Amino acid sequence: MLFFAHLPLDLGVISVFLCQNDPGMCDDWDATAGANRAFVFTGPLSAATVPAEGETLLGAVTALRPHPADTPTAEPVLGRLGGEPGWLQGDETPGCPSCSTPMTFTAELEEGADFETSANFGGGGLGYLFHCRPCSEAAFLWQR
Q: Taking the model in full, what pTM does it have?
A: 0.78
Model confidence at 79, pLDDT cuts 50, 70, 90, reads confident
58 — phi, psi (to 5°)? Answer: -135, 110
Model confidence at 67, pLDDT cuts 50, 70, 90, reads very low
Model confidence at 40, pLDDT cuts 50, 70, 90, reads very high
Residue 15: closest CA among 135, 133, 131: 131
- Between CA 123 and CA 88 the distance in angstroms is 13
Higher-pLDDT residue of 120 and 138 is 138
Q: Looking at the predicted structure, is the pLDDT value of residue 64 above 60? A: no
Q: What is the pLDDT of residues 2-39, one digit of tens each?
A: 777 888 888 888 998 877 776 567 776 778 788 889 99
Question: Quick one: average pLDDT of 113-129?
Answer: 74
- Between CA 66 and CA 10 the distance in angstroms is 13
Residue 56 confidence (pLDDT): 64
H or E element in which residue 131 lies: strand 126-132
Residue 129: closest CA among 143, 114, 112, 141: 141
Q: What is the pLDDT of residues 91-107, one digit of tens each?
A: 999 999 999 999 999 99
- Between CA 73 and CA 123 the distance in angstroms is 24
Residue 50 confidence (pLDDT): 74
